[in-house]
Amino acid sequence: MSEAKKTTNHKEIQEWAEQHGGVPSIIKGTESDGSGEGVLRIHFPEKSDSNGSFEEVSWDEFFEEFDHSKLALLHDPNGNFNKLVSRD
């Protein structure tokens, strides 16, 4: 793995995810009552055995919750490694 990069840039995140086959998702069953969408993930359906655990959402929904929760994406620019982390 090359060195991980941290970003909050929506365009960069979307382009990276789509380039690697990722889609914006939430983990099913993590939705809360009125305080947010649920636990966000960039999911890779072609490389996962747990597709039933994820619900795809639009990029607009993903980034609304991403910004609301003050998250950043830590990712490998050349691979699929990624983790949503605090911006701080």
Which pLDDT belongs to residue 49? Answer: 65
Q: Tens of pLDDT along 9-37?
A: 999 999 999 999 999 999 887 766 555 56
% helix / strand / coil in the chain, to the nearest 5? 30, 30, 40
Instruction: Find residue 26's DSSP bridge partners.
Output: 40, 55
| pLDDT tens track for 37-46 | 678 999 988 8
The pTM of this model reads 0.84
50's tokens: 């747990």
Q: In angstroms, rounded to a whole number, what is the distance separating the alpha carbons of residues 83 and 24? A: 13
| Residue showing tokens 């949503």 | 84
Residue type at 88 in one-letter notation: D
Q: What is the pLDDT of residues 49-76, one digit of tens each?
A: 665 788 899 999 999 999 999 999 999 9
